[in-house]
Structure 1
Amino acid sequence: MIIREARIEDAQGLLKHAKKVYREGRNLLTAPEEFKVTLEEEVQWLKDNRQKGHFTLVAEQNSTIVGMLNATKGSRKRVKHICMFGISIQEEYCDNGLGSKMINRLLDWAKEDKDIEKVCLEVFAHNERAIHVYEKLGFKVEGRKERHVKFEDGTYSDELIMGQFI
């Protein structure tokens, strides 16, 4: 497994990855049918992220992207000291430490940035596997948005806000 920073030429692989993980479960905000990003839009997103100093990682197995992590730095003066991240890993590659390795790479990157003091995330309260990883890596629950997400079957999930000062 290779973990590396994303490149512009990863756009197609990132699209395939996103389509797969959106179909795999109920742990991501985007419903599968809502994801309609074009190759051109993905390329532009990667370029914009690089230009803004954000951090995007991919995890590759046999030249296929199976995981990604994206961290965005605060763009306004009063939140310049934080970054928010999201991570997605294809189900068959979970439970082997990949998420922890990717998040540790993010934390190393954030510690090197002169502005970042805190790393934050949001996670569905039912995603116990992810919450366990985040807590193991030092993140703490800072808040809860009740019934924040409503699924197609009418059920709800709370969303937890987690953070870690670095």
Structure 2
Amino acid sequence: MTYLGPSGSQIGHKESIKDTARVLGRMYDGIQYRGHGQEVVETLAQYAGVPVWNGLTNEFHPTQLLADLLTMKEHLPGKAFNQMTLVYAGDARNNMGNSMLEAAALTGLDLRLVAPSACWPEAALVETCTALAKQQGGKHHPDGRYRRGGERRRFYLYRRLGLNGRGEGKMGRTYRPAARLSG
């Protein structure tokens, strides 16, 4: 394993991303990219010739969701993801919100986003993931409400809205859920 940070690599500066991908693909059996743009990890994947995975970009954070899903399975051995519910209360207009939508769509997980509509992921991603979730037997509830019911096991994640400066302008104030979620 080798770490190439911004100061130790010319990726995208003196060397093109394509050329860097080709060289790294000859040197390593796999590449994890952790950086800013999603387009960089996609270009690496296209030209490296070895597996490339997204460790974190501004748009997605799938390795965190993989860890979260494995933790859920560890706590509920024998349960399928389509028998679990993930409730996320907070600003979902970020890489975690996007990755939660994708993970739920691919696994059949019941995802509940509790936030005003101004804090949901982009509509096109919600639409794509909702259609995929239906094929996998999952559900998305990006409607700002949380309803209890059934005997499914739930996992709760919370992130205060408006802390990153995006919430104040669009919503007029920082959003705080009126009710506290409990198991």
- TM category (shorter chain) comes to under 0.3
TM-score when normalising by structure 1: 0.26
Q: Which has the higher strand share?
A: 1
Max Rg structure: 2
TM-score when normalising by structure 2: 0.24
